[in-house]
Amino acid sequence: MSAFDANWSLMTPEIVLAALALLIFTIDFMTGIREKKPYLGRLSILALLVSAFLVLFMNGEGGAIADIFIVDTFSTVFKIILLLAVAMVIAISMHYLDKNDDVYQGEFYSLMLFATLGAMLMVSSADFVTLFIGLELLSISSYCLAGFKKHQRKSTEAAIKYIILGGTASAFILYGMSFLYGLTGTTSVVEIGKSIPALYADYPYIITMSMLFMLAGFGFKISAVPFHMWAPDVYEGSPTPVTAFLSVVSKLAAFALVIRVFFVAFWSISEEWTFLFATIAALTMISGNFIALTQKNVKRLMAYSGIAQAGYLLVPLAVSANYAPMAVNTIVFYSVAYVLMTAGAFAVISYVTEESHSEEMNSFAGLYRRSPFMAIAMTVFLVSLAGLPFTAGFVGKAQIFIGAVTGELLWLAVIMILTSIISFYYYFGFIKQMYMREPKANDANLKVPAGLSAVITIALALTIILGVLPGILTNFFMEVSHWMF
């Protein structure tokens, strides 16, 4: 297909988002570096909402640009999830940036928008070249965001560790891709998927090695065990809104990428990788939950919680060989639940830790007396993460559990239940501090800023609504996986 014949309108949301990100960067550059610019945060949220509108209403019929860039139901749903998640993270960031003069607001917001652009390219990519471009755009922007507080040792350390290990993971992915390109002569994920059945009969070891290299690289991006070592230090050292971004947006974009690659390119040999996913899921759930028990720093605890949540999201991939549509729908629903409960929790964490100037668990002491609304909201988010009834997290985990039992992976379902029970202990550590501890002597009552209050309220309401009426989304998601099956 000639570049002149391609339907470039399919990339309208990405083109508009890139233009608006450059506009915000330019406005910041032209208005002085050190000035307070709360309007840039509002412009960034507006840019994300405009992009979400374009995703919904301009590309409704879908299509493809030479099997390189695909717009389908799957990519549309994931893009909406990612765009709304970033909007919530930026709303959290606005208060944080106003409190910290050493963070340049325009650069921060534009980097976050460029990272979102990379995530959107990843979700729609059906070619290794565009896929890798999107992956690196997200990764490089994330490296910069992790080290944004460059005058703080922890932030610099987080960025250095992240870029070294992230670069290594990208090299693994690229090396795995090179094997497939050498065998097939194409970088198209669709064409590679068609070629692998015949090639696997002649070159099983090369195909397997390619798959393992790519799995290792993707495992880093989703912080799955044993590729998770970077997450606790990077999450702790990064600015709290960046930690929320890495925990939610970066992880879900990587999961969408894994689905796109393994369900298309490697689908014909799914029996070779489903057990690998099952093993990694089990190790990730066990390690994440057990190590979280020993954490006192809130952000490190949430890092291990995020690792454990990645394990739960990996379970549907392990049972996908015979129940692929159900697996994809389950992942999409739990992704929505994960965005709501994690972004809501980080909104509370960001405000409480900034006001108390401490990231230790005891910074939540007496929160119910200082701000009943934030304490109740945090409680709902925590019990949703733990998987208790009447929350979106419970419905998502129930769907994953049913899928594991249906797929005859009872041992994995048992591990999932046991590790969820273990998670109650450290999640309830927050609740113990909020309700059963007295505030510190110099702790004043907290008045929640409007932006944070909006994020917390929306996340709280949807977490409860999806826990009581999950059919609102599950019926819609029945069509998400039709493009593959």
Block mean pLDDT (10 aa), the chain, length 485: 64 91 86 70 91 82 76 87 93 82 75 93 90 92 87 86 91 93 90 90 91 93 89 89 90 90 87 90 94 91 92 88 73 91 92 85 87 92 92 92 88 93 91 86 76 91 91 67 48
**Residue entry with tokens 């990587």:** 254
Question: What is the pLDDT, as a whole number, of residue 353?
Answer: 87
Question: What is the pLDDT, as a whole number, of residue 1?
Answer: 52
Question: What is the pLDDT, as a whole number, of residue 485?
Answer: 44
What is the rounded CA–CA span in Å between residue 414 and residue 282? Answer: 10
Greatest CA separation for the chain: 72
In 178-332 the beta strands, taken as DSSP E runs, fall at none
What is the rounded CA–CA span in Å between residue 223 and residue 309? Answer: 10
Task: Give, to the nearest 10 degrees, the angle between helix 12-30 and helix 105-124.
Answer: 170
Alpha-helical runs (H) found in 437-485: 450-468, 471-474
What is the rounded CA–CA span in Å between residue 260 and residue 238? Answer: 29
Question: What is the pLDDT, as a whole number, of residue 117?
Answer: 94
Cβ atoms of residues 118 and 142 within 8 Å: no
Q: For the chain, how far is it from start to end, CA to CA, in angstroms?
A: 26
pLDDT tens track for 325-341: 777 888 889 999 999 99
What is the rounded CA–CA span in Å between residue 345 and residue 473? Answer: 22
Nearest to 216 by CA among 230, 201, 228, 227: 227
Question: What is the pLDDT, as a whole number, of residue 301?
Answer: 92
**Residue entry with tokens 């394990």:** 311
What is the rounded CA–CA span in Å between residue 301 and residue 177? Answer: 34
Cβ atoms of residues 128 and 181 within 8 Å: yes
